[in-house]
Chains A and B, each alone.
Chain A
Amino acid sequence: MVLNLKILPQSSFGFPGYRGLQEFVIIPFYNYESNQSNYFGIKDWGISLQYGAEFARTTLSVAPDDLTTDNSELDLNTSLYLLSIAKRLGNHSLSARYTPGYQKEFIFKTGESIIINDTTTQSLQANYNYKELFGLGYSYNFNEQFNAGLTMRFFSQDFNREIVKPVFGDTLYLVREAINEKISTGSIDIGLDYILNKQLQFRIASINLLNFEDQLTNTEFQGIELNLNRGALLTASYFPLELLNFHLLYETTNSFQAGVTGHTKGFIYGLTAFHDYYQEPFIAGVLPAVGYRTDLFEILLSAVKYFSDRYTNASYSKFFDEGINNIINNSYSFDKIVLSMAVNISGKPEKKVELIDIEITREIYPSFYDLYIDQPIAYGNVVNISGKPVTVIPSVKIEGVTDDQIQSPPQTIAPGDTVVVPFFVIIPDKYANEKTFLSYADFFISVTPLQPDAQLQKATLINSINSWDGNVANLRYFIKKDMEFSMNYSKNILSRNKSFLDTIPSPLLPFHKAQIIFNEFAKLIVYVSDPRATAEYVQFPKQTLDLKGGDCDDLSVLYSSLLESVGVQTALVDYKGDGEIRHVNVLVNTGLNPEQARLITTNDKKYFIRKDESGKDQVWIPVETTSLSNFNEAWNIGVEKFNREAIENLGLAKSKIEIIDVY
């Protein structure tokens, strides 16, 4: 729905007949006359044209008395009446039209003759041509009930006339001379639509509200200009059924139109009868129309049938006394057949779904790069407004985090249903922002891949790359992050101990690797707790080695990463504590089976049996990574803490302690 525009001397008469406000005006932005508020439902661009044939009846005799006889022949003229283009920008609508066929020409003998050469008489002629050149329209859709708009139309009036002009020098001569004057005229009108509901709609519009025109300078042409009487028009449309709608249009010039329209399965039809104050008989004519339309195009075949005889010959006196008020509908207009075609070439498909709301379910920790593939960051309520089942593709783009929209799995929504749609995201590997900031996430719902039907924006907290949510299970993201660095670092250590390792039986290699690597980095690192004991900051392995220090989280991440990078399986032990600061250390899988445990220790309290990732029972040893003197001491401390809290205090049974496999 949209806006309003009305025109100059064209009043409200349009070739397709009056068709009301909604329902039938999805596309026809071209027809300012019957669409004064310039309402049209295109999404983007629209092009239309009107092409037609005019049935001019030429009398074979020009005598006035002969006009009532059938002494005439039919002359068929085809014209391009109109070409228009429209563009919609949100609630704004713009249209322009070029109207080469909106013109009326009168030719006649002026009644003045000159006798020359004693006996020869020459009659003088004139022609007056009235044209609507082009029009511009703008409208604004305030809400579902109100549209307002304006139209500007531009006209030219071209007057040509031969006269006899006396010229006196030494002698007097009569000179036959052609005089002409062309004046430009324009008119601006406004209109307002009120859509009470789907059944009742109203419109009010001005007629010739603001007129501007060149001043006519030649007195020979005074009195024949277009009449620009001001007025207003009121319309009411009643839509009780799709098959039958009623329209009434009244102009304050005491003209009116009454019409019925309807549509079914894309076929549209209508019949408008019009009374024109300036024409006879009382019902001057009818405009039948049939057509077919979709959301993409409309084609309409309409006709204008006048109930009075129309001839190409007419009385000059009547013309001079009455003039014309309307270029395309006046006492001298002929019956017509007009083909109107309009195409909606919008690149924007019809909106099928609405995104009602978005609920952000979690903060974003960029280190958890694949966590959000399984766990949505937000949920949206999406409603299907199309009347057909649609499959929607949710997607999200986070400013400063993702370069592109990250699509989530598609979902099919039944007509009218509202569905909660999850939004997943993947953090790019290259993300390295070490600061926490507030960003915006754009959530999209698309029916077709290229064009979102709906979107919403929400503020989202983006944590730094080192932020951690306190869930020990999520430390694995820090462990994996620098895996290439860790592998290089561990291999470098192991290669320096190659001679020793070469003497070690292969079943004991994981244990000794764990021992050698621990002892090497322990020499470089000191334990440093987080500032203000925060548990939300975790260093990546390289950062810990570069900084030469870290807390339990950082050291466990470092040691686990170094071992995992050379094939030694690890797990994290989460000591949740009771109101105390949580603690983390590492379990190392020695790769030994229970019978081989004696190869590393005879103290069966220094290890425990746990299944590996393939389900085999193997010997695991706890290592306290904050004990940085040497491996054996770290093992002993780890064993002591594990036995006390996990086993003796039933920490595992009470779930106060949790063992989390890194992989």
Chain B
Amino acid sequence: MKNILTYLLISASAFVFYSCDKPAPTELFDDSENEFEIELLNKDFDNHYFTSGSDTSGITQDITRLTNLISVSGIKITSANRTTEFSLAQAIFFKRSEPIKYQNGRLLAYKTATPGTIKFNSVEARIVPYRIKYRDNGAPKDTLVGNKYLLYNIFGGFPDPFYFNYNSNVSFEFDPFLPGEDISFNIPTPHQINGFVDLKGSKLSKNLEAALNWNATGPGKVSVVIGLMRPGQQQSIPVYKFKAPDNGKLNIPGRYLNQLPLDRFEKIVFTFVRSFEGYHGNVNNDLLVSSQSIHSIVIDIP
């Protein structure tokens, strides 16, 4: 009996050893409707211009590697239960031959040019100075990089009679100063985006959670930029950009909010952006044409 038992135990042990395979796993595909990409826009809250990508929303600016830009936006800002709407159109053209650099030689931007007359929806854009702010060796600096084309409409046609039409087109016309052909085309515009933010928890308890909702339109993606505003300031510092399917909802995991130094800030800004954009040009896609609907919601941090 003892021999049989020993034999069985040895056999069973060998079996276990050689049978250590495990059942096949199941691979789940994410259809949770909370899919998102996160991008860190600003790691240094004292430098307003750091970004890791080419943002065209007007919320952040990265001009170090920016292509020439034609951008039209319908913008809505909700703060303290008041909503203000305005339209914005701008065009910026860079002269690659004239870089602007930091003291250490690193590229900051390029000088800009205004090579002709530009109209949006038949309204001629004004040429205005284009300044950027940055921090060089710790010291804040403000420099003029040239001019850009600009139209904006805040109060019913003031100061410019430019109106951004949602889910429609904005016409673009370019008449060069130098001899050459005029260029004109229509810029398609997206549906207006209307966001809603449910911000729960408190910064003291470090249990903030944000549930975001917006009017979904189906295919495509929506970007949500989260920014912070210091007390007494009106300009936000962009921190994160979330890019998610345009399905109408996104839950921001609490860890993204609670790890921020919120005690330095008074307000948090959620900016919903639905955009169309496309690159044009014969070489290096050197012209980015974009249109976007933007809804910024400013909330006191609880």
Q: Any chain A CB within 8 A of the CB of B259?
A: yes
| Minimum distance in angstroms from B66 CB to a CB of chain A | 12
Selected interface stretch from B18-26, B174-182, B196-204:
B18-26
- A317 CB contacts on chain B under 8 angstroms: 31-33
With A47-B8, A78-B19, A166-B260 known as contacts, the answer to whether A332 contacts B32 (CB < 8 A) is: no
Contact between chains at B44 and A171 (CB < 8 Å)? yes
In the assembled complex, A510 has its CB within 8 A of some CB on chain B: no
Task: Establish whether residues B259 and A312, one from each chain, have CB atoms under 8 Å apart when the complex forms.
Answer: no
Docked Cα-Cα span, A172 to B23, in Å, equals 42
Question: Per a CB cutoff under 8 Å, which of A77, A80, A113, A118 touches B16?
Answer: A80
| Segment with Cβ contacts to B, from A48-56, A141-149, A452-460, A600-608 | A48-56
Give the docked Cα–Cα distance between A33 and B52 (Å). Answer: 56
Q: A79 at interface (Cβ–Cβ under 8 A)?
A: yes
Interface presence of B102 (CB below 8 A)? no
Which listed residue, B22, B37, B260, touches A115 by the CB 8 Å rule? B37
B27 within 8 Å of A (CB atoms): yes
Query: Does A115 lie within 8 Å of B23, measured CB to CB?
Result: no
Which of A54, A114, A171, A173 gathers the greatest number of chain B CB atoms within 10 Å?
Answer: A171
Q: How far is the CA of A407 from the CA of B255 in the complex (A)?
A: 84
Q: In the complex where A103-B23, A109-B30, A166-B256 touch, is A172 in contact with B12 (Cβ < 8 A)?
A: no
Q: How far is the CA of A630 from the CA of B98 in the complex (A)?
A: 161
Closest to A167 in B: B259
Q: Given A165-B259, A174-B40, is A111 in contact with B24 using a C-beta cutoff of 8 Å?
A: no
- Asked if A345 and B43 sit within 8 Å, CB to CB, the answer is no
Contact flag A47-B12 (CB < 8 Å), given A56-B24, A173-B40: yes
Please indicate which of the listed interface residues A49, A121, A172 has the most CB atoms of chain B within 10 Å of its own CB.
A172
Residues 168-184 of chain A, each 1 if its beta carbon lies under 8 Å from chain B, else 0 = 10111110000000000
Known A-B contacts A80-B16, A83-B16; the reply to A316 vs B32 at CB < 8 A is yes
Given A77-B21, A103-B23, A111-B32, A172 and B16 contact (CB-CB distance below 8 Å): no
With both chains docked as a complex, state the minimum distance between the C-beta of B288 and any C-beta of chain A, in angstroms: 15
In the assembled complex, B53 has its CB within 8 A of some CB on chain A: yes
Q: Are A316 and B19 in contact (CB under 8 A)?
A: no
In the complex, the answer to whether A172 meets B38 with C-beta atoms within 8 Å is no
B41 to chain A, nearest CB (A): 10
From the candidates A105, A109, A111, A165, name the one contacting B26 in the complex (CB within 8 A).
Answer: A105
CB pair B30 A334 closer than 8 Å: no
- Output the least CB separation between A572 and chain B (Å): 55
Cα distance A332–B27 when bound, in Å?
10
Separation of A201 and B9 alpha carbons in the complex (Å):
35
A22 CB to nearest chain B CB (Å)? 26
CB distance from A420 to the nearest CB of B (A): 34
User: What's the nearest-Cβ distance from chain A to residue B111, in Å?
Assistant: 23
Check if B38 sits within 8 Å of A334, measured CB to CB.
no
Q: Quote the shortest CB–CB distance from A263 to chain B (angstroms).
A: 25
Asked if B155 is an interface residue, CB under 8 A from chain A, the answer is: no
A315 at the interface (CB under 8 A from B): yes
Say if the beta carbon of B80 comes within 8 Å of chain A. Answer: no
Count chain A CB atoms within 10 A of each CB in B1, B12, B30, B40 and give the residue with the most. B30
The reply to whether A315 and B43 form a contact with Cβ atoms under 8 Å apart is no
Partner of B255, one of A64, A111, A163, A319: A163
Residue B185 is within 8 A (CB to CB) of chain A in the complex:
no
B residues 35-77 in Cβ contact with A at 8 Å:
35-40, 42-45, 52-53
CA distance A343 to B12 in the complex (A): 12
A44: nearest chain-B partner, CB-CB:
B1
A-side contacts of B12, CB under 8 Å? 47, 49, 83
Known: A45-B5, A62-B27. A172 touches B45 (CB 8 A): yes
Residues of A close to B15: CB separation below 8 A: 49, 51, 80, 83
Closest to A127 in B: B25
What B residues does A115 contact at CB under 8 A?
37-39, 52-53
Chain A residues near B184: list those with CB within 8 A. Answer: none
Contact B36 A112 (CB under 8 A): yes
Instruction: Give the distance in Å from the alpha carbon of A118 to the alpha carbon of B66 in the complex.
Output: 13
When the two chains form their complex, are residues B260 and A111 in contact, meaning their CB atoms are under 8 A apart? no
Q: How far is the CB of A112 from chain B (nearest CB, A)?
A: 6
Q: With contacts A49-B15, A77-B21, A80-B16 known, is A172 near B26, CB below 8 A? A: no
Contacts of A104 in B (CB 8 A): 23, 25-26
| A79–B9 alpha-carbon span in the complex (Å) | 18
The residue in chain A whose Cβ has the minimal distance to the Cβ of B1 is A347
- Which A residues touch B32, using CB under 8 A? 111, 316-317, 320
Are B28 and A315 closer than 8 Å at their CB atoms? yes
Specify which chain B residues have a CB less than 8 angstroms from the CB of A171 in the assembled complex. Answer: 43-45
Most chain A Cβ neighbours within 10 Å, of B21, B27, B253, B255: B27
A110 interface residue per 8 A CB criterion: yes
Most chain-A CB neighbours within 10 Å: which of B5, B26, B260, B261?
B26
Assembly CA distance A165 to B33 (angstroms): 21
Q: Give the residue name and chain of the B residue nearest to A55 (CB).
A: B24
Q: Is A117 an interface residue (CB 8 A)?
A: yes
Decide if B37 touches A168 in the complex (CB within 8 Å). Answer: no
Instruction: Determine the distance from Cα of A174 to Cα of B29 in the docked complex, in whole angstroms.
Output: 25
Encode contact with B along A498-535: 1 for CB under 8 Å, 0 otherwise: 00000000000000000000000000000000000000
The yes or no answer to B4 lying at the interface (CB within 8 A) is yes
Q: A115-B38, A172-B239, A173-B43 are in contact. Are A312 and B24 (CB under 8 A)?
A: yes
Contact B21 A79 (CB under 8 A): yes
B27 cross-chain contacts in A, Cβ below 8 A: 62, 106-108, 312-314
Which chain B residues border A78 with CB–CB below 8 Å?
19, 21
The answer, yes or no, to whether A119 is at the interface (CB within 8 Å) is: yes
Report whether B40 and A54 are in contact in the complex, using a CB–CB cutoff of 8 Å: no
Q: With an 8 A cutoff between CB atoms, is A100 at the interface?
A: yes
List, in ascending order, chain A residues with CB within 8 A of B255's CB.
163, 165-166
Q: A165-B259, A315-B29 are in contact. Are A79 and B23 (CB under 8 A)?
A: yes
Q: A49-B12, A165-B259, A313-B29 are in contact. Are A345 and B19 (CB under 8 A)?
A: no
| B30 x A119 contact (CB < 8 A) | no
- Are A107's CB and B16's CB within 8 A? no
What CA separation (Å) do A242 and B298 show in the bound complex?
78
B36 & A113 in contact (Cβ 8 Å cutoff): yes
B260 touches A314 (CB 8 A): no
Contacts of A107 in B (CB 8 A): 25-28
- List 6 other contacts, CB 8 Å, given A45-B5, A172-B260, A312-B27: A77-B23, A80-B19, A112-B253, A118-B53, A164-B38, A172-B43
The 10 closest A-B pairs by CB, nearest first: A108-B28, A56-B24, A80-B19, A105-B25, A111-B35, A166-B259, A111-B30, A316-B28, A115-B39, A113-B37
Q: Which residues of A contact B (CB under 8 A)?
A: 45, 47, 49, 51, 54, 56, 62-64, 75, 77-80, 83, 100-101, 103-119, 121, 127, 163-168, 170-174, 312-317, 319-320, 332, 334, 343, 345, 347
Can you list 29 residue pairs at the A/B interface with Cβ under 8 Å?
A47-B9, A51-B15, A54-B24, A62-B27, A77-B23, A78-B21, A80-B15, A80-B16, A104-B26, A106-B26, A108-B27, A111-B34, A112-B35, A115-B52, A117-B52, A127-B25, A164-B256, A165-B259, A166-B256, A168-B259, A172-B44, A172-B260, A173-B43, A313-B29, A315-B29, A316-B28, A316-B32, A343-B8, A345-B1
